[in-house]
A and B are shown apart, each in its own frame.
Chain A
Amino acid sequence: KENFVGHQVLRITPKNEAEVILLKELSQLEHLELDFWREPIDVSLPVDARVPFHSLQPVRSFLAYNEIHYDIMIADLQDLLDAEQQEMTKSRA
Chain B
Amino acid sequence: LQPRSTDDFNYATYHTLSEINSFIDALVQENPNLVSKIVIGQSYEGRPLNVLKFSTGANRPGIWIDTGIHSREWVTQASGTWFAKKIATDYGRDAALTAILDRFDIFLEIVTNPDGFQFTHTSNRMWRKTRKPNSGSRCAGVDPNRNWDAGFGGAGSSSNPCSETYRGTYAHSEPEVKAIVDFVTSHGNLKAFVSIHSYSQMLLYPYGYTKTPCRDQAELHEVAQRAVAALTSLYGTKYAYGSIINVIYQASGGTIDWTYDQGIKYSYTFELRDTGRYGFILPANQIVPTAQETWQALMVIMDHTKNNPY
Name A residues whose Cβ lies closer than 8 Å to a Cβ of B.
Answer: 1-2, 4, 9, 30, 35-39, 41-42, 45, 48, 50, 73-74, 77, 80-81, 83-84, 87-88, 91-92
* B125/A81 in contact, CB under 8 A: yes
Q: Which residues of B contact A84 (CB under 8 A)?
A: 14, 281, 283-284
- B249 CB-CB contact with A under 8 Å: yes
- B310 CB-CB contact with A under 8 Å: no
How many CB-defined contacts (below 8 Å) exist between A and B? 56
The 7 residue pairs across chains A and B that have the minimum distance between CB atoms:
A91-B13, A2-B124, A41-B249, A87-B284, A37-B279, A91-B10, A80-B281
- Give the shortest distance, in Å, between B235 (CB) and chain A (any CB): 21
* A50/B126 in contact, CB under 8 A: yes
The CA-CA distance from A91 to B69 in the complex, in Å, is 25
* A45/B123 in contact, CB under 8 A: no
* B125/A37 in contact, CB under 8 A: no
Interface residues on B, range: 20 to 34
Q: Which residue of A lies closest to B250 (CB)?
A: A41
Given A36-B164, A74-B281, A84-B284, verify A1-B122 contact (CB < 8 Å): yes
The CA-CA distance from A50 to B1 in the complex, in Å, is 34
Task: Provide the main secondary structure of the chain B interface.
Answer: loop
- Give the shortest distance, in Å, between B128 (CB) and chain A (any CB): 9
Q: Which residue of A lies closest to B281 (CB)?
A: A80
* A42/B281 in contact, CB under 8 A: no
Interface residues in B1-26 (C-beta closer than 8 Å to A): 1, 10, 12-15
Q: Which residue of B lies closest to A2 (CB)?
A: B124
* A2/B125 in contact, CB under 8 A: yes
Q: Which residue of B lies closest to A1 (CB)?
A: B123
